[in-house]
């Protein structure tokens, strides 16, 4: 993957959108602007939105367009410095103390330091793209821990002092908004709310992402998915599910199922909650037929 | 002021916009304002849309206040003051810091309510008020330790029954020149579960909503993590308002946020709306969920049944407190109650503050399922 200078890619929001499209990611004007600003202002990008709208995919696409390695930190409840920043290799330290005998030994040497994603990014000689995924799953203490990293791209290790980034990373944070993030975190970032795409954009995404799907099928899937999302479902289908539905229905149709039937039979890849399935089932035939026009 | 005069004139509208947003309780930091101006410069700006995009990206309005943000943008940059400022009905209602007109509205509502209630009832509530206050104070104090607990993934130091804390033990060993003192231990922390209260504010619950809101205020003040929603024909999150320590102020703020006082009930659809917002439904996960409602769902109860089943699947314990159960002749015989009874952990009397506070304080204690108890009774 050839490395690209971020400044040459991010000349304008339109240029960013074009480069993302080349990486098979269709961004609307607003998202392209947010990415452009995050790169040019050198700030982290905070992407919020419902599950399945393409937040993580956006981070992957940014890494691809810049030709950088993506380092991913998946957040969860209870994540702390030892999982995100660094950890000492205690067993090796103990062995070293034993072997050293009467000799002096620095047990806080690099040999004993296990770099976790944030430290890996700071220590990398070349610029990396860091994805802090689902930050809303972590607890408030972890958010506070991230603040120093996000504002100055540095972390403090009590035994070693402060480590600054050799090359300032591009940081993307994602949140499903299952809880409110701290204002201190939000104001350090360029912010963008990703909503579900409109039917036309979703059809274009399906065409781009699905293997062998006709344009009419993609349009029908996009229209039907918009209607289904408007229902009060426990797990509204994301874009990836829409792409899978289009793919699955196409395979079934080629296998001999007529069109509306192929959509109905493939519904399991779109809706993955049993109660949602039974809720939508009585209406599904009508929704598909209306979507097919 | 000195800095402002040294800024170029072109910067004034942007600073003014940030100030306008701050006046309407948007949290905007100075670094965000400078980020906004840098972003405008970077984008050209070639059109007003660039300024809007720059503002959205750098001033970061919460998604549920986007409409309000847009209205302020229109009024500031286009002089269009007719834009309606209204929050989304299914999302969290906005927090109003500058009361003004809203305070007047609350006053009006209160005087209306007073006129509608009989004087005998008013006397009764005045007599009970002091006792209720004491009860709520005791409830608030006991709540955080009385709620059911779960083991967190965070760890705390312990003197026995834990895992070895190598990080700190090693520090001790080094500072003791290699001697091995007694090892330090850590174990997983125990934290209280979340408490989620959903309060029915429809017309049929009118006599009880004031008490319920007082209870909700005590719950938010006492519990580490409590979330309060009201529902009638809409769903409103009032937790932020109830965080104000002064009860009168908090209740006034909460009252201003709720738009569907004393109206009809659409319990099923509003609970489904609650579940379809990921941020809200995550409040229910692993929580003690208490619904304060008479559950008098008109028409088809299929949606209510589905919503309760989903809530039950997420919650640690799902309880319905209905004032109707205050009557000894009460039996869960309506179609809606019969349908939801199997998924309820508790179906209890919600007619008095005393009963409700005792019930919530007993949530950590195991009890037979509601269906078993009511089968025995009937």
Q: CB distance from A186 to chain B under 8 Å?
A: yes
Q: Which residue has the higher pLDDT, B144 or B117?
A: B144
- Report the gap between the CA of B110 and the closest CA in chain A (Å): 32
For residue A30, the chain B residues in CB contact (below 8 A) are 53, 56
Mean pLDDT of chain B: 82
Residue A163 has pLDDT above 80, yes or no: yes
Three-state secondary-structure class, residue A75: coil
Which residue does chain A place closest to B60, by CA atoms? A191
B198-239, pLDDT tens digit by residue?
999 988 898 999 999 999 999 999 998 999 999 988 899 999
Report, in angstroms and rounded to the nearest whole number, the Rg of chain B calculated over CA atoms. Answer: 26
For residue A74, the chain B residues in CB contact (below 8 A) are none
Out of B35, B39, B306, closest to residue A275 by CB = B306
For residue B52, the chain A residues in CB contact (below 8 A) are none
CB-based burial, B126-154: b 16+ in 10 Å, e otherwise: eeeeeebeebbeebbeebeebbbeeeeeb
Residue A225 has pLDDT above 50, yes or no: yes
Mutation target among A27, A134, A143, A234 for the B interface, most CBs of B within 10 A? A234
Mean pLDDT, residues B286-305: 88
- Report the gap between the CA of B70 and the closest CA in chain A (Å): 14
Any residues with CB less than 8 A from the CB of A132 and at least 6 apart, and which? A73, A75, A146, A171, A172, A173, A174
ipTM of the complex: 0.86
Q: Which of the four pLDDT bands, split at 50, 70 and 90, describes residue A259?
A: confident
Lowest mean pLDDT among A9-18, A109-118, B14-23, B175-184: B175-184
Please give the biggest Cα pair distance in chain B: 80
Residue B273 has pLDDT above 60, yes or no: yes
Sheet containing strand A170-175, strands side by side = A70-74, A129-133, A170-175, A45-49, A190-194
A115-144, pLDDT tens digit by residue?
999 999 999 999 999 999 999 989 888 888
Q: What is the DSSP letter of A67?
A: T
Query: Do the Cβ atoms of B35 and A41 come within 8 Å?
Result: yes
Token reading at A236? 């509204």
Lowest mean pLDDT among B85-99, B125-139, B297-311: B85-99
Query: Do the Cβ atoms of B282 and A178 come within 8 Å?
Result: yes
Mean pLDDT, residues B127-142: 81
Lowest mean pLDDT among A152-156, A245-249, B50-54: A152-156
Q: Which of A5, A133, A127, A7 is nearest to A59 (CA)?
A: A133
Q: Which residue has the higher pLDDT, A67 or B261?
A: A67
Token reading at A108? 């806080």
Q: Are strands B185-192 and A70-74 parallel, antiparallel or unpaired?
A: unpaired
- Report the gap between the CA of A42 and the closest CA in chain B (Å): 11
Out of A34, A178, A183, closest to residue B279 by CB = A178
A167-209, pLDDT tens digit by residue?
899 999 999 887 778 888 999 999 999 999 999 999 999 999 8
pTM of the predicted protein model: 0.77
Element (H, E) at A86: strand A86-88
What B27-36 contacts at long range (C-beta under 8 Å, 24+ apart), as own/partner pairs, is B27/A183, B27/A187, B28/A187, B28/B59, B29/A183, B29/A187, B31/A187, B31/A188, B32/A187, B32/B58, B32/B59, B32/B60, B33/B59, B35/A41, B35/A43, B35/A190
For residue B170, the chain A residues in CB contact (below 8 A) are 88, 90, 93-94, 107
Residue B115 has pLDDT above 80, yes or no: no
Instruction: Report whether B150 contacts B286 (CB < 8 A).
Output: yes
Please tell me the predicted confidence (pLDDT) of residue A200. 93
- Report the gap between the CA of A30 and the closest CA in chain B (Å): 6
B248-267, pLDDT tens digit by residue?
999 999 998 888 888 888 88
Please tell me the predicted confidence (pLDDT) of residue A36. 96
CA angle A138–A140–A142, rounded 5-degree value: 60
CB-based burial, A132-149: b 16+ in 10 Å, e otherwise: bbbbbbbbeebbebbeeb
B-contacting residues of A 101-140, CB under 8 Å? 107, 139
Tokens 């009060």: give the residue.
A232
Out of A33, A178, A190, closest to residue B278 by CB = A178
Query: Do the Cβ atoms of B309 and A40 come within 8 Å?
Result: no
Lowest mean pLDDT among A155-164, B30-39, B50-59, B78-87: B78-87
Any residues with CB less than 8 A from the CB of B112 and at least 6 apart, and which? none
Instruction: Report whether B303 contacts B268 (CB < 8 A).
Output: yes
A-contacting residues of B 41-80, CB under 8 Å? 42-43, 49-50, 53-54, 56-58, 60, 62-63, 66
Which residue does chain A place closest to B165, by CA atoms? A90
């Amino acid at each position: 993957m050839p490395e690209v200078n971020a400044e040459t890619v991010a000349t304008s929001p339109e240029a960013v959108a074009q480069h993302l499209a080349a990486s098979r990611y269709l961004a609307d004007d607003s998202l392209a602007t947010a990415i452009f600003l995050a790169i040019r202002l050198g700030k982290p990008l905070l992407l919020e939105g419902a599950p399945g709208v393409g937040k993580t995919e956006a981070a992957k696409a940014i890494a691809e367009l810049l030709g950088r390695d993506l380092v991913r930190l998946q957040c969860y409840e209870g994540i702390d410095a030892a999982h995100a920043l660094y950890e000492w290799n205690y067993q090796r330290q103990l062995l070293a103390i034993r072997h050293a005998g009467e000799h002096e030994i620095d047990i806080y040497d690099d040999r004993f330091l296990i770099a976790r994603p944030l430290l890996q990014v700071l220590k990398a000689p070349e610029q990396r793209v860091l994805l802090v995924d689902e930050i809303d799953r972590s607890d408030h203490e972890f958010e506070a821990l991230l603040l120093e990293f996000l504002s100055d791209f540095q972390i403090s290790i009590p035994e070693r002092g402060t480590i600054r980034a050799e090359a300032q990373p591009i940081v993307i944070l994602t949140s499903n908004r299952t809880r409110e993030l701290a204002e201190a975190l939000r104001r350090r970032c360029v912010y963008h709310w990703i909503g579900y795409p409109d039917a036309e954009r979703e059809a274009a995404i399906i065409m781009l992402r699905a293997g062998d799907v006709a344009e009419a099928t993609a349009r029908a899937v996009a229209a039907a998915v918009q209607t289904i999302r408007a229902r009060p479902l426990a797990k509204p289908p994301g874009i990836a599910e829409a792409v899978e539905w289009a793919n699955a229905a196409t395979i079934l149709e080629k296998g001999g199922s007529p069109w509306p039937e192929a959509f109905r039979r493939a519904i399991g890849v779109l809706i993955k909650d049993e109660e949602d399935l039974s809720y939508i089932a009585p209406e599904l035939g009508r929704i598909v037929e209306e979507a097919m026009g | 002021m000195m800095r402002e005069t040294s800024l170029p004139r072109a910067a004034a509208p942007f600073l003014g916009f940030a100030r306008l947003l701050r006046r309407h309780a948007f949290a905007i930091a100075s670094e965000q304002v400078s980020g906004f101006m840098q972003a405008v410069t970077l984008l050209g700006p070639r059109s007003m849309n660039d300024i809007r995009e720059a503002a959205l990206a750098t001033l970061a309005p919460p998604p549920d206040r986007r409409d309000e943000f847009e209205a302020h943008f229109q009024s500031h940059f286009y002089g269009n003051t007719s834009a309606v400022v209204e929050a989304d009905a299914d999302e969290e209602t906005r927090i109003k810091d500058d009361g003004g007109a809203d305070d007047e509205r609350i006053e009006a509502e209160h005087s209306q309510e007073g006129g509608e209630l009989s004087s005998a009832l008013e006397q009764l509530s005045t007599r009970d008020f002091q006792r209720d206050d004491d009860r709520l104070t005791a409830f608030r104090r006991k709540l955080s330790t009385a709620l059911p607990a779960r083991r967190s993934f965070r760890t705390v130091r312990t003197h026995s029954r834990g895992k070895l804390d190598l990080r700190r033990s090693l520090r001790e060993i080094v500072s003791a020149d290699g001697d091995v003192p007694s090892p330090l231990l850590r174990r997983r922390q125990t934290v209280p579960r979340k408490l989620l209260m959903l309060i029915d504010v429809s017309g049929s619950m009118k006599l009880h909503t004031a008490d319920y809101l007082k209870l909700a205020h005590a719950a938010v003040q006492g519990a580490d993590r409590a979330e309060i929603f009201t529902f009638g024909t809409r769903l409103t999150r009032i937790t932020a308002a109830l965080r104000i320590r002064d009860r009168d102020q908090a209740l006034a703020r909460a009252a201003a946020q709720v738009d569907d006082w004393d109206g009809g009930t659409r319990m099923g659809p509003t609970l489904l709306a609650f579940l379809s917002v990921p941020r809200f439904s995550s409040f229910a996960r692993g929580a003690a969920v208490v619904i304060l409602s008479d559950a008098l769902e008109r028409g088809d109860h299929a949606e209510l049944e589905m919503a309760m089943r989903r809530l039950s699947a997420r919650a640690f314990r799902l309880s319905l407190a209905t004032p109707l159960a205050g009557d000894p002749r009460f039996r869960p015989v309506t179609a809606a109650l019969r349908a939801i009874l199997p998924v309820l952990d508790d179906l209890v009397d919600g007619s008095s503050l005393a009963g409700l506070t005792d019930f919530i304080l007993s949530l950590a204690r195991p009890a037979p399922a509601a269906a078993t108890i009511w089968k025995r009774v009937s």
